Amino acid sequence: MNHSISIPGRHRASLPALRPAVAARLTAGGLVACTLAVLLLAAACGHGESTTTSVPPTAMAVPAATHTSPPPASTPTTVPTGTPTSQPPANDGPAEAPPSASQGDTWIRPTDGMVMVYVPGGTFQMGSSDAQIEAVMALCDRYPDEYGKCKLDAFESESPQHAVTLEGFWIDRTEVTNAQYARCVADGACRASRLAGQAAYGGDDLPVAGVPWQDAANYCDWAGGRLPTEAEWEYAARGSEGRIYPWGDKFDCAGGNFWDSVTGCDDGYPEPAPVGSFPGGASWCSALDMAGNAWEWVGDLYEAYSPDAQRNPTGPDSGSQRILRGGSWGYTPAFVRTATRYPVPPAADYLAVGFRCAIPADRVTSLAFSPDSMR
């Protein structure tokens, strides 16, 4: 049975009626989900149920609003030495798999009202083939950037392509917003983003950005999940078909928020856009904003790919860099592909760096659907 939410909307400046409706839906959905969760728990109780790898010496910096690296946060994250801080264990949230989750199902996470989409398990080819990397270089020629970042050594870490098999999981339909992140700050579980309150970056329905890796991991723990693994993120973006972009194999301005002056896209957003503004960029599992808008942290430490087949990989146990995925509003088509990897220090709190969360399917006890999500 499929339950889906269409998240429409286009332009932040004019604030059309559809965009506030989405924000209201997310908020209302969260309240309904919380109510349903309480009722389900009460019913259950009434029936007696119980319930290290070498790392490249350097990494490219992510550009800020002017396509240069922003200044550090006023309270910088401590950069781990030796073995970086790991993701905190997920808190006491959902614990059992839903009985019949399938592709197209959505769930409204009670903690923050985030709409999550179900990603059924499967096998896909992770990374890029030699031919695909050659095609990336053609994109660099077609969409040159003035900083010279679009070159072969930026994409060689995508090789070798290898088979990965994953179990089912839930992933946030969009990037976490400032309004959602503010709830975690109010609860004392998260530090404020260094961009909080800034007009261009601090809007309630904009993706929270300017947060280092540990802050993103802390938020997902507070919300009842964790950051997606790098393999989960790529699978949710490209699927077993191996799409180059979430929507298909050809770049399309309708797919997301990209570097307008280089791509020729006139999306109306010189910087971040409200989450869910580009329904044409939906991936095969209905995840949005997986290309452009904001780079996204994943849980893994960086390491070079192995050609060996893997099952539910979580990355190495040690290393000095974390990984960003998806590109941002300040990047070109080569960098917003589903296979692009961007290793950076975990303390990176750049203007265009955000995140989304994931929850393994076997940790969700029940689906709390709101009336708005069932249609």
User: What are the residue boundaries of the structural domains of the chain, listed by start?
Assistant: 18-373
Q: What is the pLDDT of residues 200-213, one digit of tens each?
A: 999 999 999 999 99
Using CA atoms, how far residue 133 sits from 32, 164, 335, in Å, is: 46, 19, 12
pTM attached to this predicted model: 0.75
> Which run of H or of E encompasses 232?
helix 230-238
CATH classification code of 18-373: 3.90.1580.10
Residue-level pLDDT at 363: 82
Residues 6+ apart with CB under 8 A from 150: 139, 140, 143, 144, 332, 334, 335
- Choice among 66-80, 139-153, 213-227, 279-293 with the minimum mean pLDDT: 66-80
Q: pLDDT per residue over 75-105, tens digit each? A: 333 333 333 444 544 443 343 335 678 898 9
Task: Look up residue 225 and give its two tokens.
Answer: 């999940």
- pLDDT digit string (tens) for 253-277? 999 999 999 999 999 999 999 999 9
Instruction: Give ∠ CA 151-152-158 in degrees, rounded to 5.
Output: 125
pLDDT at 156: 96
Residues in the chain: 375
Dihedral pair phi/psi, residue 133, rounded to 5°:
-70, -35
Percent of the chain with pLDDT over 70: 71
Q: Looking at residue 87, what is its pLDDT?
A: 53
Half-sphere exposure of 247 (CA within 13 A, CB side): 17
Q: What is the DSSP string of 272-287?
A: ---TT--GGG--TT--
**For position 125, what pLDDT does the model report?**
98
